[in-house]
Amino acid sequence: MAEDKPNLRWGVEQKLQFIEFRLFWEGHVNRSDLIEQFGISPNQASGDLSRYIALVPDNMVYDKSGKTYVRSSGFISLFYEPDATSYLSQVRSVAEGIVASHDSWIGNLPAFDTAPSPARGIDPVVLRAIVIAIRRHDAVEVRYQSMSSPDPEWRWIAPHALAFDGFRWHARSYCENSGEYRDFVISRIVATRQSRDARMISTNDTAWDEIVDLKIAPHPDLSTAQKRAIELDYGMISGSVHIPVRKALLYYTLKRLGLDTDPAARKPQDQQIILLNREVVA
């Protein structure tokens, strides 16, 4: 992205970012795109396109046959930083119904599907109570179904953060019953009731604050081509990549990456990566 971006009002810059988003990902943009996305008049949309051309005259040209502006060969991002992760997140959110298509900047959604995961039954009222407790630094009484108890039990927890392990949402909390910081699966909280000031502050959660640096590499028994494929998958440089992770989330991360067991226990093609600095998880 160019460094000499002009200082503009937020609303104006949003529309210029949208123009560049469409140019970069779809190769074209027109007045109706702006009208539909921002609910503005045709004159306003024309004005925004003219403003963009005045600021970046070499980024797009008008195609009379298609009646649209198309990306030029000399296109340079000025207002929008192209990001593959952000784009794919939009694709997933729209395809899964999390975000309405008209709220996304993607004009033509590519065909998409995902490996399904069981839906997690999080009660929005419960989630609201957890979020409010985090915001207010409160403790909240929850009725929690643990793996070790036959029935749900009431307990006081002081949540200070939300955490996602790739499959489930947790409330990172101080548990007054155990006197420890623990992860409470939010879908297992079946009810909440009273709240009060927390007796323990989140700054005492050293496992949450400590960052562990995982260094991963392709499995050494893979072929050269297979190793190169894994390096591309994980964005490795010189055959390895560092993954910073909170110590509190280390268990979930290792399990998700298949690094929680001895790599020799699985075929190299199944266990495609190894942990080079295993001493950090000892």
pLDDT of residue 198: 85
| C-alpha distances in Å from residue 79, one per residue of 2, 24, 34, 260 | 8, 11, 16, 43
Q: Which residues are 49's β-sheet partners?
A: none
Please tell me the distance from the alpha carbon of residue 257 to that of residue 271, in angstroms, as a whole number. 9
The residue-averaged pLDDT of 100-123 equals 84
pLDDT at 155: 96
pLDDT bin (cut points 50, 70, 90) of residue 15 is: very high
Q: Using 50, 70 and 90 to split pLDDT, how confident is the model at 48? A: very high
At residue 181 the predicted structure's pLDDT band, cuts being 50, 70 and 90, is very high
Radius of gyration of the CA atoms of the chain, in A: 25
Average pLDDT in the 110-129 region?
85
| Residue type present at position 159 | P
Burial 54-66 (b: 16+ CB within 10 A, else e): eebeebbeeeeee
Given this model, what pLDDT does residue 262 score?
Answer: 85
> How far from the centroid of its chain's Cα atoms is residue 152's Cα?
32
**79-97 average pLDDT score:** 90
pLDDT of residue 112: 87
What pLDDT is attached to residue 1?
Answer: 55
The candidate with the shortest Cα–Cα distance to 69, out of 98, 45, 40, 93, is 45
10-82 is a CATH 3.40.50.800 domain: no
Contact indicator for 52, 16 with CB cutoff of 8 Å: yes
Task: Convert the pLDDT of each residue in 189-202 to its tens digit.
Answer: 999 999 998 876 66
DSSP 8-class letter at 237: B
Looking at residue 4, its pLDDT comes to 65
Amino acid 32: pLDDT: 95
The residues near 113 (Cβ < 8 Å, ≥ 6 apart) are 95
pLDDT above 90 for 208: yes
- Tell me the domain boundaries of the chain: 10-82, 124-205, 210-281
Using the CB atoms, write b or e for 203-237: b if 16+ within 10 Å. Answer: eebebbeeebebebbbbeebeeeebeebbeebebe
Euclidean distance between CA atoms 139 and 200, whole angstroms: 9
Give me the pLDDT at residue 121, please.
Answer: 84
Is the pLDDT score of 254 beyond 90?
A: yes
pLDDT band at 125 (very low <50, low <70, confident <90, very high): very high
Which tens digit of pLDDT belongs to each residue from 150-169?
A: 999 999 999 999 999 988 99
